[in-house]
Amino acid sequence: MALTRSFKELVQKRVANDPAFGEALLREGIDALLTGDVDTGKAVLRDYIKATVGFEKLGEATGTQAKSLIRMFGARGNPQARNLFSVIGYLQKQAGVELRVTRGPAGRPGQRRVTTGPKGG
């Protein structure tokens, strides 16, 4: 039987080679959090962090220990808003994007989605 790459390795390689995919992954993770799917949002952001900056560098940048960040984005993690927004702010900065919450599609009042705007715009 041929050896196959794990899904996480595949995601990491794709993020490294396709910045648009990485940006979409970041956006989807945040969107999941905002729509109340916290477990999926944390899992997606965990994969994004591993594929981009890594937990050590993220910890240095946000003033949070890497082990705390790993727990925060783990299955049983319960991040505080202050820590979560610090991480999201740093990830946006590193990706060179500015994410905004906008109204969802017509006919779906109350729906929100994350969109990408130009950095600083």
Structural domain for 64, as ranges: 7-117
Is 95 domain-assigned? yes
Is 2 domain-assigned? no
Confidence band of 82 (pLDDT split at 50, 70, 90): very high
The pLDDT value given to residue 72: 96
Is 74 domain-assigned? yes
**Count of alpha carbons within 13 angstroms of residue 61, beta-carbon side:** 18
Is 112 domain-assigned? yes
Is 19 domain-assigned? yes
Flag whether pLDDT at 118 surpasses 80. Answer: no
Is 1 domain-assigned? no
Is 51 domain-assigned? yes
pLDDT digit string (tens) for 38-60?
999 999 999 999 999 999 999 99
DSSP output for 17-52: H-HHHHHHHHHHHHHHHHTT-HHHHHHHHHHHHHHT
> What domain count does the chain have?
1
The pLDDT value given to residue 62: 95
The pLDDT value given to residue 4: 61
Is 47 domain-assigned? yes
* Residue count (the chain): 121
